[in-house]
Amino acid sequence: MITIRNAEFRRILDRGGQRFAEIELDTDQASTPRLLAYFRKEGNGRYQLVRIMADDSARETEKESYAHSYADGSDVTSLLFAGPSHGGTEDRVQFGYQILDFGDIRRQLDNQLQ
């Protein structure tokens, strides 16, 4: 399992009529130390981890990287949760809980994805 060192709410994105919360993650993974996680709120009030992108903007200045969006990184969702050492869907769900439970992320999503 990936260890999250830091998680910060960045913004809300509207894509195709759906709202997504973007969470920036610093991890212990050498190949992808900075990730962007995207959550949406389901009808039952729960949050679903929809996609994880490598934050390719991490090499740029903070001001420039904040302008990047959902499509600017590399989708690494299937890479992180596939293969013999991962449980696929189960690992993905657990990772989503780990993000939501970090600091005040869940509270921020409650406020932003109403």
Averaged confidence pLDDT in the chain: 82
Which residues lie closer than 8 Å to 35 by C-beta, 6 or more apart? 24, 25, 27, 29, 52, 53, 54, 55, 76
Residue closest to 35 by CA, chosen among 10, 13, 64, 18: 10
Condensed to tens digits (0 to 9), the pLDDT of residues 8-20 reads 999 999 988 899 9
Q: What is the pLDDT of residue 32?
A: 79
Q: Give this prediction's pTM.
A: 0.79
Which residues lie closer than 8 Å to 11 by C-beta, 6 or more apart? 21, 22
Condensed to tens digits (0 to 9), the pLDDT of residues 69-99 reads 444 568 887 777 776 555 566 788 899 999 9
